[in-house]
Structures are given as structure tokens and as C-alpha cells.
Amino acid sequence: MLQNLGALGIVGLVILIAGIALIAYANLVIAVGMALVLAGLGLVVKSLISGMLQNFGMF
């Protein structure tokens, strides 16, 4: 998976994890909620991109 992200994607992932850790330091419940929202958003985006690629016959 990390090979597909590239350097910029890995930096973005590290920043995302650091942000959630900073929020968890302040309030754990809010951090868990934000992590769930981000995970759900990631699944929706992955689904949309996969569907679009299937429509173009690329996947």
C-alpha cells in the first residue's frame, strides 16, 4: 500500500496521524469520533474512485 502512495502520500498520512494524536491528547472521545469520520470518508472516496475507474474500463 505504501508503494502506491508515494512520498507525498506518506507525509500526508504522518500528518493525519499526528493531528489525531494531538486531538487525543486533549480529548480522547473527540479524537475517536474524528478518526471514525476520516475512515468513513476514506472508504467513500475509495468507492467513488473504484466506481469511476470501472466505468472507464480501467479496473
> Given its phi and psi angles, is residue 27 left (phi above 0), alpha (psi -120 to 50 degrees) or beta?
beta
Neighbours of 47 (CB within 10 A): 10
d(CA 15, CA 48): 24
d(CA 19, CA 23): 6
Could you state, in order of their start, the residue ranges of all structural domains in the chain?
A: 2-55
pLDDT at residue 1 greater than cutoff 70: no
Contact 20, 35 (CB under 8 A): yes
Percent of the chain with pLDDT over 90: 36
pLDDT at residue 6 greater than cutoff 80: no
pLDDT at residue 29 greater than cutoff 90: yes
Condensed to tens digits (0 to 9), the pLDDT of residues 33-42 reads 999 999 988 8
Helical H runs in the chain? Answer: 2-26, 28-55
